[in-house]
Chain A
Amino acid sequence: MSKTPDSGTAVHPYLTAFQAFSENGAGKAPRWLKERRQSAIDRFVEMGFPTTRQEAWRFTDVKRLATTDFTLAGPAESELVSLEEIRTHLLSDGRNTAVFVNGSFAPSLSSVDQLREGVTIGSLRGALADQPDVMERHLGRYAQDDTNPFTALNSAFIDDGAFVYIPKDADLEEPLQVLFVAAPQDGTPLVWHPRNVIIADQGARASVIETHVALGRGTYWVNAVTEVLVAENAKLDTYRIQHDGVDAYRTATTHSRQAQSSSFSSVTFVFGGGLTRHDVIAVLDGEGAECTLDGLSILRGRQHVDFHTTLEHAKPHCTSWEYFNGVFDDRARGVFNGRIVVQPGAQRTDSKQTNNNLLRSPHARADSQPQLEIYADDVKCTHGATLGPIDDRQLYYLQTRGLDRDAARNLLTYGFCAEILNAVGLEELRARVDRQVREHLNQAMVTPDRAT
């Protein structure tokens, strides 16, 4: 198929940027990495930016993203941010926290020196220098560049990101936090391509919290790829809290691979972002593995969120749960595509998927698509989706108990959100996210007709 002239024009600046990137700091990378980057940029140029004519991008139009002139962010920008500006976003009094500014590790803002032996939380750039063998084994092994152009683009610009390693049988009581700070620059839209690698070795148990915040307004684009390996008997719980600005773009792909009897969970909260597209590809690749993917989006204005999840049951006796709820005000829009693949031989698969959307304005919209591909015969797969406004009978019931219409709407919405909040096992984090949910709901109530 021939490419449209548009997409050729759109990829060109990235090819130019790639050449400059290869000649500068990225030049001293090991040979395998250089080769991976080169084949990734080739693949990106070949695919181009997706269009709404492609099934996977039918409801998410990236035309504005593709035609914006982005400049590749550099490590120097980490000096733009002070500890004071980010203090409120730190958990556990700031212990065990790696901070990144515009995609680059900021050691002066991080606190990673009191970790127990063998645990690593820090920068990918550092890991590439210190443990190139480990990196060669894992980097690019779980994420694939061949179908998603954004993943390919990320691979072309692999430079920094978070590297988290939990050694064999380590049981971490305190969560590890990775704080990603966006510091947009006035008038210069920046892009960065963080590549994150999280490895929980055999029998390890840990929680990792990713917090994404923006300092100030402005256009930026985060194009992230996260690779997760959960080894045999390991348990890894991850949380992602996103507060992107209304002018921000975020394209992200998370690839997880699980071994036998492992447990992996991912809970994502999207509180803001002009355009957020997150692809999650979770592979249950060992018998008896368990995987939970949960998400809650609360958006207003014209913000847009799109979750495309794939749960691939490759081995028998695995269980997966998926609960995605969305609350949309004004002209906000949510897209959910939940694909469940049960490979031949993956008998006794148990998979449950739910996507519920609350449309609190007549102009808000949600699209939900389950996609089941089952190639085994002894499986249990259920899915369900709802979308609609707040139930009038519930509203009336609460009103008869003394709550006015706005308070009743808020309480019902909060209940809808609490279903996902309850999935947060960490007390401090849950209290914090709970407060953020309430704040967002209250803000949304102040001017209900903002966008109309």
Chain B
Amino acid sequence: MLEINNLHAGIQGTEILKGIDLKVNAGEVHAIMGPNGSGKSTLAQVLAGHPSYEVTEGSVTFRGQDLLELEPDKRAVAGVFMAFQYPVEIRGITNAYFLQSAVNAVRKARGEPEIDTMDFIEILEEKLKFIGWDDSLSNRAVNEGFSGGEKKRNEILQLAILEPALAILDETDSGLDIDAVKAVAEVVNKLRSPARAFVVVTHYQRILNYMTPDHVHVLADGKIVKSGGKELALELEEKGYDWIRGDTAGVA
């Protein structure tokens, strides 16, 4: 589904990603772990299409399409979703209205009929029921005055509603207490399907306790320095990132 080859990217002339290779198949969950400043969030933003990042080399193919060619909205239409680490606040727009606008923007771009408000409210209610959350966020302005946990939950709600093929979670677990991490992970588990892939960017192993990844990759200084199964995450938790750094230093 997603194929990243030798990806180099940076911001304002500073190279952050220094040759990433990654292949993600439908149905898989990949965890990208790494210390602060390793380039995890940059990778997530480059995939989503953040205009400040510049790709200098390499390619990203998503379902056979050149992803880097596409504007952020076209990537969303193609089926890419990123849950933000720092979601922005939007005044004056209720969350429900925002979700409806997003769903209809995607449907319109795909040539599908738009959904009216009454029908959308039903879809939203069903979805909330499915993920087991109440509608307390629906009629508040988007992220305005939300707690850190509510903002993250709201990202996951958008993920549930937009039903992307590829979901990238950018440090969704950061700043959350353990119950919130568990709640978010449970929803992600419900949304897992053979047709959908997840790329979970995280600093800590703990979210992976509730969301078993198929593959774990360790990012350091803009490169994937180690890949393995779910046990790699536990090893990292035990030994810390210095272990990887030392390891790669040894290899180099």
The answer to the question of B92 belonging to the interface, with a C-beta cut-off of 8 Å to chain A, is yes
Contact of B76 among A401, A405, A415 (CB under 8 A): A401
A392 to B141, CA, bound (A): 19
Binds A, one of B3-11, B80-88, B204-212: B80-88
A404 near B73: Cβ-Cβ < 8 Å: yes
Total contacting residues, chain B, CB less than 8 A: 30
A417 near B92: Cβ-Cβ < 8 Å: yes
B73 near A397: Cβ-Cβ < 8 Å: no
B44-92 interface with A by 8 A CB criterion: 48-51, 71-73, 75-77, 81-82, 84, 87-88, 90-92
**With A402-B77, A402-B162 given, is the CB distance from A415 to B84 under 8 Å?**
no
Residue interface bits A78-102, CB-to-B below 8 A is 1, else 0 = 0000000000000000000000000
The answer to the question of B42 belonging to the interface, with a C-beta cut-off of 8 Å to chain A, is no
Contact of A414 among B84, B93, B142 (CB under 8 A): B93
**With A396-B72, A415-B92 given, is the CB distance from A401 to B51 under 8 Å?**
no
B105 near A400: Cβ-Cβ < 8 Å: no
B158 near A401: Cβ-Cβ < 8 Å: yes
The answer to the question of A65 belonging to the interface, with a C-beta cut-off of 8 Å to chain B, is no
A402 partner residues in chain B, CB cutoff 8 A:
73, 76-77, 102-103, 105-106, 109, 162
Q: Output the nearest chain A residue to B164 by Cβ-Cβ distance.
A: A402
A369-406 interface with B by 8 A CB criterion: 391-394, 396-405
A416 near B72: Cβ-Cβ < 8 Å: no
B248 partner residues in chain A, CB cutoff 8 A:
none
Contact of A416 among B71, B92, B103 (CB under 8 A): B92
Q: Output the nearest chain B residue to A394 by Cβ-Cβ distance.
A: B88
A394 near B90: Cβ-Cβ < 8 Å: yes
Main secondary structure of the interface of A (DSSP, over half): helix
The answer to the question of B101 belonging to the interface, with a C-beta cut-off of 8 Å to chain A, is yes
B109 partner residues in chain A, CB cutoff 8 A:
402, 404
The answer to the question of A407 belonging to the interface, with a C-beta cut-off of 8 Å to chain B, is yes
Residue interface bits A406-425, CB-to-B below 8 A is 1, else 0 = 01100110111111001000
Most buried by B among A392, A396, A405: A396
A126 to B44, CA, bound (A): 71
Most buried by B among A401, A402, A405, A412: A402
The number of chain A residues touching the other chain, given as a range, is 20 to 34
**With A396-B50, A396-B72 given, is the CB distance from A401 to B90 under 8 Å?**
no
Min CB–CB distance B96 → chain A (angstroms):
13
Contact of A393 among B77, B88, B162 (CB under 8 A): B88
A417 partner residues in chain B, CB cutoff 8 A:
92
A416 to B109, CA, bound (A): 25
A36 to B92, CA, bound (A): 47
Contact of A397 among B81, B87, B92, B105 (CB under 8 A): B87
A384 to B132, CA, bound (A): 41
A399 near B72: Cβ-Cβ < 8 Å: yes
**With A396-B50, A396-B72, A397-B84 given, is the CB distance from A403 to B101 under 8 Å?**
yes
A394 to B90, CA, bound (A): 7
B48 partner residues in chain A, CB cutoff 8 A:
400
B72 near A411: Cβ-Cβ < 8 Å: no
Q: Output the nearest chain B residue to A325 by Cβ-Cβ distance.
A: B92
B162 partner residues in chain A, CB cutoff 8 A:
401-402
A346 to B220, CA, bound (A): 64
**With A396-B50, A396-B72 given, is the CB distance from A403 to B102 under 8 Å?**
yes
B51 partner residues in chain A, CB cutoff 8 A:
392, 396
Min CB–CB distance A205 → chain B (angstroms):
28
A396 partner residues in chain B, CB cutoff 8 A:
50-51, 72
A403 to B97, CA, bound (A): 13
B77 partner residues in chain A, CB cutoff 8 A:
402
A400 partner residues in chain B, CB cutoff 8 A:
48-49, 72-73, 75-76, 81-82, 84
Residue interface bits B97-126, CB-to-A below 8 A is 1, else 0 = 010011101100100000000000000000
Q: Output the nearest chain B residue to A407 by Cβ-Cβ distance.
A: B105
B101 partner residues in chain A, CB cutoff 8 A:
401, 403, 407, 411
Min CB–CB distance B86 → chain A (angstroms):
9
Contact of B71 among A392, A393, A404, A419 (CB under 8 A): A404
Contact of B91 among A392, A399, A408, A416 (CB under 8 A): A416
A408 partner residues in chain B, CB cutoff 8 A:
73
Min CB–CB distance A295 → chain B (angstroms):
15
A399 near B73: Cβ-Cβ < 8 Å: yes
A203 to B170, CA, bound (A): 57
Q: Output the nearest chain B residue to A417 by Cβ-Cβ distance.
A: B92
Most buried by B among A394, A399, A414: A399
Min CB–CB distance B50 → chain A (angstroms):
6
Q: Output the nearest chain B residue to A421 by Cβ-Cβ distance.
A: B92
A405 near B73: Cβ-Cβ < 8 Å: yes
A408 to B101, CA, bound (A): 9
A396 to B75, CA, bound (A): 12
B120-164 interface with A by 8 A CB criterion: 141-142, 158, 162
Q: Output the nearest chain B residue to A392 by Cβ-Cβ distance.
A: B51
Q: Output the nearest chain B residue to A418 by Cβ-Cβ distance.
A: B92
B92 near A414: Cβ-Cβ < 8 Å: yes
Q: Output the nearest chain A residue to B76 by Cβ-Cβ distance.
A: A402
B73 partner residues in chain A, CB cutoff 8 A:
399-405, 408
B105 partner residues in chain A, CB cutoff 8 A:
401-404, 407
A351 to B49, CA, bound (A): 44
B88 near A397: Cβ-Cβ < 8 Å: yes
B6-31 interface with A by 8 A CB criterion: none
A391 partner residues in chain B, CB cutoff 8 A:
88
- Some 15 contacts from A to B, beta carbons below 8 A apart, are A392-B51, A394-B88, A398-B102, A400-B81, A401-B101, A401-B106, A402-B103, A404-B109, A405-B71, A407-B101, A415-B91, A415-B92, A415-B142, A416-B91, A419-B92
> Interface on A for B, CB 8 Å cutoff?
391-394, 396-405, 407-408, 411-412, 414-419, 422
4 tightest Cβ-Cβ pairs between the two chains A and B:
A415-B92, A418-B92, A402-B76, A402-B106
- Extra A-B contacts (17), CB below 8 Å, given A401-B101, A404-B71: A396-B50, A396-B51, A397-B84, A397-B87, A398-B102, A399-B72, A401-B158, A401-B162, A402-B73, A402-B102, A402-B109, A403-B105, A405-B73, A415-B91, A415-B93, A418-B93, A422-B92
